[in-house]
Amino acid sequence: MLRIPPTLLALAGGALFALLGQVQAAEPAMVKDGMLVDARGMTLYTNDRDSMGKSSCNDACADNWPPLAASADDKGDMQWSTFKRDDGSWQWAYGGKPLYTFKQDQKPGDMLGDGKMDVWHVAKPAAATKSGGY
């Protein structure tokens, strides 16, 4: 019978959790019904006033439109990126456009922020707008 020391088991378990964390970090959002949603299924939005990798939504704006939080260690891919906000926190962007949720959306599928002030729009992945989904 093979006996594995508890210390080695603990190290292997820790490595497994670290790998799982990296997999999750690579996909900060998912596509549902042709739009981007966060891990809880809440609609994600873009703001026309933002520039590539730069948020114009700070302070009270960020209270109403919470940024899709990232960490300095998160890594994106060809479409996903992270950037440092003015307050020092990190935010996810898709295609260079910063992503947000909307405070008034109460449940998955709510899209109360779409069209607000003519600058907020539901975030849609490039593939979904071309082919109707993944």
Q: Calculate the average pLDDT of the chain.
A: 84
**Domain ranges, residue 67:** 6-131
Domain assignment of residue 72, yes or no: yes
How many domains would you assign to the chain?
Answer: 1
Q: Rounded to whole angstroms, what are the CA distances from 54 to 18, 98, 114?
A: 29, 7, 20
CA 94 to chain centre: 8
pTM recorded for the entire structure: 0.76
Domain assignment of residue 122, yes or no: yes
Of the segments 11-15, 20-24, 26-30, 102-106, which one has the largest average pLDDT value? 102-106
Rounded to whole angstroms, the Cα distance separating 134 from 98 reads 21
Rounded to whole angstroms, the Cα distance separating 37 from 100 reads 10
Rounded to whole angstroms, the Cα distance separating 103 from 122 reads 14
- Taking residues 46-70, report their average pLDDT: 97
